[in-house]
A and B are shown apart, each in its own frame.
Chain A
Amino acid sequence: MSNLWIISNTVETAYEMLAKARELVSDSGGSVTAFLNGSEYQAQEAISYGADLVKLMRMPEKTAWEEYVPVLVQEAQGQKPDIILVGATRRGKDLAAQLAAHLDCPCVTECKTIQYDGSKAILKRMVYGGLAEKTIECNEFPLIATVTGRTFSKWEVKETARQGTVSTLALPNVVKMQVVERRPKPKETVNLKDAPFVVGVGRGFSEASDVKLAEELAQAMGGEVACSRPIAEDLHWLPEDRYIGISGQVIKPDVYLAAGISGQVQHVYGIRDAKTIVAVNKNENAPIFQVADYYIVGDLKEVLPALTKAAQEVKGS
């Protein structure tokens, strides 16, 4: 009989992981415990989404959430969970790795899939900046795996008869960090995730003022402008929440049009699931062409205005 845990500081990811956890214990008749940063109400929701037991780990005001680690270590030594799924936020990944070191157990970061037959687990994750996928076998338990949001789907819950118990965990008496300030992130300037058409600006743009060529095309297509990391982080031509890639946004638009972007794996990571990829680059050997459906070899200063014009004609007709 297996015993699964999920730990998350965001409730949505918790609900998604609960569905997976239930699937993993399904045949064994085991139990699922959710460690959740949430309210009583969300604890009840977690029960309807699949938890048997909920232990609230509320966000402390004066210290970091990750300071719950020693408490979790104690709980784990008592309950002996087989698999612990942790929501792969930055806090979650920190907590998961500390917990793994204390329990001297394996931890797989941002797994895409996980299978478990009661004695071994097989997981997949991306490596080399998204160039390759690694398949990992673990025979040692507990096993910790972190999971990003939207990797799994939560149950569709209507009226639920599921019952469970809720309790609240206390922080350890001694903590290491003092939080002196929390500054919430300003509201996102753009929602790239919902844009059907995204134009990506790369270092092939020679001046900041040329970014308007991409903006005009995006506007004609009813889309948004995004960029590669150097455009945001080095040149600051566009805000940071607009860069695409492994360290930035991951998007799935109908069309992604990469202009003046070479197509390094770290960037391509963020557009892997775009329905159609279009590339404009003046170098006929640019790697971006290998991941594109359609491409035009040429100077973006000529190609983008021509595309804007063609788009306006089609939309106007």
Chain B
Amino acid sequence: MKKIVACYKWVVDEADIRVEGKARSLNFDRIKYKISEYDRNAIEVGASFNEKQGCQFLAVTCGANVEASLKDVLSRGPESIAYVNDGALEETDSSVTSKVLAGIIKKIGEVDLVICGEGSSDGYSQQVGPRLAALLGYASVTFVNKLELTEDGIRAERKLEDGVEVVELTGPAVVTVLPDINKPRIPSLKQILAAKKKTSEKLELAAIGLDSLALKQKTLDVSGTVMERKNIQINSGGMTIEEAAQKLVQQLKADGSLA
């Protein structure tokens, strides 16, 4: 029986970030967290192999504040979860994250297939999957939108800029998946209740052999991207749609924007 792990990141919901003032600083006051969208596809892949082919299926995560995510993720199909929750992970980069995840996966042991989203919806560095593959000595199979298990490996279709590459391999692999691989479930009430009975295992950094976590890069600044736009409403003050349409077209013509 194959053992499958899906990795996910507990991220801030970027829709709640406010950009404020001249300095365009980011306000996180009203922030909510979510399972990164792309990782929901990864979790769904594992859940479906678990339900349809009887694979063993675990979720894995790490961060400074991930315990709030456990019920949510367990309602999406994994049989259990192993995680590291440590203040030292308040600020991470792809290098640190992949080392921690690799540590957890090695601790779990004998994992045949690791599934990640193609990137996270906050930083979108798209590195953790291939970095994990390198650290674990597994094959790296990225940007996959079709995945099958074979007797002793996988067959995957990678969607690349110039077309599709179909690959086969034997042995363990880390696969990153694209959003069009499946439709992640919205957990049912039954799945939410069942999640409460599932097990979660908290690991300490020391237990996975990591005591120093040096960031490879220092963030100097994060500020809202500037986009100077005119923000003019064309149909203010009771103008009809026809009038507004004419006014807009005239305006575009006057601006020299119409070919």
A positions within 8 Å CB-CB of B:
64, 66, 69, 89-91, 93-102, 104-109, 122, 126-140, 176-185, 196-197, 221-222, 233, 246-247, 254-255, 264-265, 268, 272, 275-278, 289-298, 302-303, 306-307, 309-311, 313-315
Give the distance to chain A from B101, nearest Cβ to Cβ, in Å: 12
Which of B125, B130, B168, B248 meets A180, CB within 8 Å? B168
* B124 in complex: contacting residue of A109, A293, A298, CB < 8 Å: A109
**Cβ-neighbour of A176 out of B94, B142, B171 (below 8 A):** B171
B229 lies within 8 A of A128 (CB): no
B80 within 8 A of A: no
With A98-B131, A101-B131, A221-B258 known to touch, is A64 a contact of B225 (CB < 8 Å)?
A: no
Q: How far is the CA of A247 from the CA of B179 in the complex (A)?
A: 10
CA distance A140 to B94 in the complex (A): 15
B128's nearest neighbour on chain A, judged by CB, is A97
Contact (Cβ within 8 A) A101 B98: yes
Known contacts A140-B216, A196-B259, A247-B179, A294 near B225 by CB under 8 Å: no
Report which B residues bind A (CB closer than 8 A). Answer: 14-15, 17, 19, 26, 93-95, 98, 121-135, 139-143, 155, 158-169, 171, 173, 179-180, 216-225, 227, 229-235, 241-242, 244-246, 248-253, 255, 257-259
B220 touches A122 (CB 8 A): yes
Q: Which listed residue (B132, B135, B221, B229) contacts A135, Cβ 8 A?
A: B221
When C-beta atoms are compared, the residue in chain A nearest to B227 turns out to be A291
Given contacts A197-B259, A276-B257, contact A295 B217 (CB under 8 A): no
CB distance from B112 to the nearest CB of A (A): 14
CB distance from B210 to the nearest CB of A (A): 13
In-complex Cβ contact of B127 among A89, A90, A107, A247 (8 A): A107
In chain A, what residue has the closest Cβ to B12?
A: A128
Known contacts A64-B165, A97-B94; A132 and B222 CB within 8 A of each other: yes
Q: Is the CB of A311 within 8 A of B232?
A: no
Residues of A within 8 A of B257 (CB): 254-255, 275-276
Contact flag A306-B130 (CB < 8 Å), given A108-B217, A137-B220: no
Chain B minimum-CB-distance residue to A302:
B241
| A268 neighbours in B (Cβ, 8 Å) | 227
Could you list some 24 contacts between A and B, CB below 8 A? A101-B135, A107-B94, A109-B127, A127-B123, A128-B122, A129-B124, A131-B19, A131-B225, A133-B224, A138-B217, A138-B218, A140-B216, A177-B141, A177-B168, A178-B167, A185-B161, A185-B162, A254-B257, A292-B229, A294-B252, A295-B233, A310-B245, A311-B249, A314-B258
Q: In the assembled complex, how far is the CB of residue B197 from the closest CB belonging to chain A, in whole angstroms?
A: 33
Extra contacts, 11 of them, besides A133-B223, A140-B217, A311-B258 (Cβ < 8 A), are A90-B160, A107-B95, A138-B216, A140-B216, A197-B259, A222-B259, A255-B258, A276-B252, A277-B229, A296-B233, A310-B242
> Given the interface contacts A64-B167, A133-B223, A180-B168, does A293 sit within 8 Å of B232 by beta carbon?
yes
A246 x B126 contact (CB < 8 A):
no
B180 touches A294 (CB 8 A): no
Contact B160 A303 (CB under 8 A): no
**Inter-chain contact B140/A109, CB cutoff 8 Å:** no
The reply to whether A97 and B131 contact each other, CB–CB distance below 8 Å, is yes
Give Cα distance in the complex from A177 to B168, angstroms: 6
* Residue from B124, B126, B179, B253 in contact with A314 in the complex, judged by beta carbons closer than 8 Å: B253
Asked if B248 and A135 sit within 8 Å, CB to CB, the answer is: no
Contact check, A307 vs B248: say whether CB atoms are below 8 A apart: yes
Give Cα distance in the complex from A140 to B214, angstroms: 11
Contact A177 B95, CB 8 Å, known A97-B131, A303-B245: no
